[in-house]
Amino acid sequence: MLTQCEVIWNNCLAFIKNQVNEQSFKTWFMPIVPKKFENNILTIQVPSQFFYEWLEEHYLILLRQVITKEIGPEGRLEYSIIVDQGNNKTAPVTINLPTQRNYVQPNNPAPLAHTPHNPFILKNFKDLNQISFLNPNYTFENFVEGDCNQLARSAAQAVAKKPGGNSFNPLMLYGKVGLGKTHIVQALGNEVKARFTDKFVLYASSEQFTTQFIESLRNNSVQDFTHFYLQADVLILDDVQFLVGKEKTQEIFFHIFNHLHQSGKQIVMTSDCPPRDLKGLQERLLSRFKWGLTADLQQPDFETRVAIIKNKMQADGIDIREDLIEYIAQSVDTNIRELEGVLISLIAHASLNKRDMDLGLAKQVLKNIVHDIDTEMSMDYLHKIVTEHFNVSLESIKSKTRKKEIVIARQVAMYLAKQYTNHSLKSIGEFCGGRDHSTVIHAIQAVNDMLHTEQQFKVSLEEIKRKVKIKLPQVS
């Protein structure tokens, strides 16, 4: 039996779902839990302060609209924010905030500690800047934006504008290898240095951090080690999964983390998996990560891969043909490091053998890297062809809409995926907006039926297949 507040919120969700795209809906509305409804005030629980600010910044109008619709003009929304998850002894701590800007800042749950005394004095900021360990080649300008990295990138940019003074503290980026984590956090560091010359940015890989710490244990200089890190205005610790199982290093990091955080300093971390999967990381450290924002980086889609190739080639002053770009983007869909590797080999082959950079050469280079490229068509690419042909958006294909033209495009996409890729029915369904395998079977059946009954459809499908085949070059 649903409570009144759950019913109201479900109605709100039904409305919101049609107003925002699927990804936003999943990210920003699904995690919300309706808590209570009293005196025309609907209280919803959101996971963090940042989450609340994001909703207020981006969806205020929509939320007002839906609250008025569901509750009436006197309806109000209130947020309940978990500021401390608690553990099995203490209950989670929450604060409530009304929906409006300029709200009164709640009492800071973590009182500011006095800045730690620091005997390890570095001469001036010039010295500090030289030991930031940042690579100036990583910038936001040369980081291509796509759906796969949008949240991570914009959060990092926001942090760079106001390090420490934002609610993305700590900022935790995670994602598989080669998707741009190091690039973004380094870009963040470089940007802070460019904007605030007096701020000390410190980048360290977790491996370096661990080695330095062990070294300092050996030299009896743990204090120096700690104080060095405590001077950072922005501390970037890359690949924290490396700390898993290293109890002592975690402890010292926990200590540094707390001091920096309490003195309003910014902490940025990356990991190759979501924090919850960091088994062997102390619970108290993990719970700190939840204070700020966690954003993931996903595999780049076809368009982003094309943009990245163009970007890299342009930066190197190399002209590259459009069909070649598309061919490479279609063939290499794992990660960006691999994509870069292919481009480097391609350039090297072209210059060593004094050959033009053409499709023939690309095939040769890729032959050793990509398997079964003649039979394996990427789903992204297939969807691109289908959506272009039917002139519908990828989003609508993945959505729940039952509009006829979209249903047909969706069914054709599934039909072709079965024919041209090695994906299972289950994975095809998942790609088409999380549908199950029986829906895919039904789609294939429906397309077969239409092929027999509608001449026009048959012509149209042949046309698409022709396009697919053009883009499916045979490896020589």
Q: Which residues bind ligand ADP (CB under 6 A)?
A: 143-144, 149, 175, 177-183, 308, 336-337, 340
Structure tokens at 86: 């608690």
- 91-150 residues in contact with Mg ion (CB under 5 A) are none
Q: Which residues contact 393 (CB under 8 A, 6 or more apart)?
A: 387
DSSP 243: G
Strands of 139-205 (E only): list them: 171-174, 201-205
143 binds, among ligand ADP, Mg ion, none (CB under 5 to 8 A by kind): ligand ADP
Only one of the segments 180-188, 189-197, 346-354, 456-464 lies at the binding site for Mg ion (rule: CB under 5 A); that segment is 180-188
The 33-38 sheet, strands edge to edge:
33-38, 41-46, 76-84, 93-98
Q: How far is the CB of 311 from ligand ADP (least distance, A)?
A: 6
Of 236 and 252, nearer to ligand ADP (C-beta) is 236
Q: How far is the CB of 257 from ligand ADP (least distance, A)?
A: 21
Say whether residue 241 binds Mg ion (CB under 5 A).
no
Of 309 and 464, nearer to ligand ADP (C-beta) is 309
> Among residues 276, 304, 305, 272, which one has the least CA distance to residue 290?
276
Of 143 and 253, nearer to ligand ADP (C-beta) is 143
- Give the span between the Cα atoms of 293 and 49, in whole angstroms: 9
Which residue number is nearest to ligand ADP in terms of Cβ? 180
Of 326 and 340, nearer to ligand ADP (C-beta) is 340
189 binds, among Mg ion, ligand ADP, none (CB under 5 to 8 A by kind): none
Tell me the H-state helices in 36-85. Answer: 49-71
Which residue number is nearest to Mg ion in terms of Cβ? 182
Of 278 and 447, nearer to ligand ADP (C-beta) is 278
Q: How far is the CB of 173 from ligand ADP (least distance, A)?
A: 8
183 binds, among ligand ADP, Mg ion, none (CB under 5 to 8 A by kind): ligand ADP
Q: How far is the CB of 183 from ligand ADP (least distance, A)?
A: 3
> Among residues 297, 200, 291, 293, which one has the least CA distance to residue 254?
291
Q: How far is the CB of 177 from Mg ion (least distance, A)?
A: 7
> Among residues 267, 265, 132, 269, which one has the least CA distance to residue 194?
132
Q: How far is the CB of 346 from ligand ADP (least distance, A)?
A: 16
Q: Which residues contact 232 (CB under 8 A, 6 or more apart)?
A: 200, 201, 202, 260, 265
Structure tokens at 135: 């690579």
Of 348 and 475, nearer to ligand ADP (C-beta) is 348
177 binds, among ligand ADP, Mg ion, none (CB under 5 to 8 A by kind): ligand ADP
Only one of the segments 109-117, 174-182, 214-222, 399-407 lies at the binding site for Mg ion (rule: CB under 5 A); that segment is 174-182
H/E stretch holding 405: helix 404-420
Say whether residue 182 binds Mg ion (CB under 5 A).
yes
Contact 359, 323 (CB under 8 A): yes
Q: How far is the CB of 155 from ligand ADP (least distance, A)?
A: 14
Which sign does the torsion angle of CA 70, 71, 72, 78 carry? negative
Of 12 and 346, nearer to ligand ADP (C-beta) is 346
Of 208 and 221, nearer to Mg ion (C-beta) is 208
Q: What is the DSSP string of 277-326?
A: G-TTS-HHHHHHHTTSEEEE-----HHHHHHHHHHHHHHTT----HHHHH
113 binds, among ligand ADP, Mg ion, none (CB under 5 to 8 A by kind): none
Which residues bind to Mg ion, rule: CB under 5 A? 181-182
